[in-house]
Structure 1
């Protein structure tokens, strides 16, 4: 499994941003094999984690026309700066209390 870590310094996030972000999330999950997608914004910073089964799925997602347009809009309107890191998850565990 892989994780894409997206960190950004944001400008003013408007209604169009939230609509595009939701559309991109759904597209990643429904058409490109994304396993999970979580994000948070606070004090002009955003972080998003998306989990993928393999690197090929990430590459296909990165090259999709709608995603390329969203990236361009992000650079022009919503982000002052961003960084993307792709990593392979070597170990994962969780704790969940029993009811």
Structure 2
């Protein structure tokens, strides 16, 4: 699902990862982190895809909202478990969205 985002500017946290073998509780924790993020002030939305490379993009109102999410205690535990158990490698990027545009096919165009 494509996240519904407001008029720019807003911020994106782009998390790219390569997983280790096996689930080891990853799916449940991933679902929990999305639910927890949705409760955070400044959270806008999230998009995620996983194959050989996983990419999750979360959208935030401002840098302070991102900082508070990073400092969330439960999120900190998940990040530590990720380093220890779930990820072979990962990279986090934070970007300011200054412009966006979209397209959506009308149901009668199909």
Q: Give the TM-score taking structure 1 as reference length.
A: 0.91
Shift in CA distance, 31/50, structure 1 to aligned 2, threshold 3 Å: same
Match of 1:23 in 2: 32
* Deviation (angstroms), 1:33: 2.8
Q: Given the alignment, which residue of 28, 46, 62 partners 1:37?
A: 46
Shift in CA distance, 32/70, structure 1 to aligned 2, threshold 3 Å: farther
- 1:64 and 1:78 map into 2 onto residues whose CA distance is 19
Q: Given the alignment, which residue of 72, 76, 80 partners 1:68?
A: 76
Q: Given the alignment, which residue of 37, 52, 62 partners 1:54?
A: 62
Post-superposition CA distance 1:1-59 (Å, at most 9, x none): 0000000111024151111111111111122431111111102x211000111110000
RMSD over equivalenced CA pairs, Å: 1.3
Shift in CA distance, 12/32, structure 1 to aligned 2, threshold 3 Å: farther
- Secondary structure of residue in 2 paired with 1:87: strand
Moved over 3 A (4+): none
